[in-house]
Amino acid sequence: METRELTCINCPMGCQLTVTLENGAVAKVAGQTCPRGEAYARTEVTAPVRTVTTTVPLTGGTAATVSVKTAAPVPKGKVFAVLDALKGVTAAAPVHIGDVVLPNAAGTGVDIVATCERQ
């Protein structure tokens, strides 16, 4: 039996979680104060994912950059590949929230989308 200690990042409470694994599978999660904590712990020890946020240069607008993020979480091991895929990517004004700036980032099947309006 193996145990892992985690801090939940799904809400501001930051619950201290203890995950018990048996044969590589989650047997028990303790320390959560809401159901999101248990779901986070199960995912984090078996297949961790992250939402990637950054900015890309904006052309033809009044601002220099536009903020972007992954439309859905990507596997933790792909975060740096997603960031590498964004090198050299620019957006052209006008940009609206939800506009796809880069489809299928790093082969993840997840698009990079704008998170703000830029003219």
> What pLDDT does 80 receive?
98
Over residues 72-78, mean pLDDT: 98
Percent of the chain topping pLDDT 70: 100
pLDDT digits (tens, 9 = 90+) for 19-74: 999 998 999 999 999 999 999 999 999 999 999 999 999 999 999 999 999 999 99
> What pLDDT does 3 receive?
96
Structure tokens at 6: 């985690």
pLDDT digits (tens, 9 = 90+) for 95-104: 999 999 999 9
**Which residues have CB under 8 Å from 30's CB, separation 6+?**
17, 18, 20
Structure tokens at 107: 């082969």
- pLDDT tier for residue 116 given thresholds of 50, 70 and 90: very high
Over residues 77-81, mean pLDDT: 98
> What pLDDT does 9 receive?
92
- 2-7 and 16-22: which strand pairing? antiparallel
Question: Are 70 and 112 contacting, i.e. CB atoms less than 8 angstroms apart?
Answer: yes
Ordered by where they begin, the domains of the chain are 2-47 (2.20.25), 53-114 (3.10.530.10)
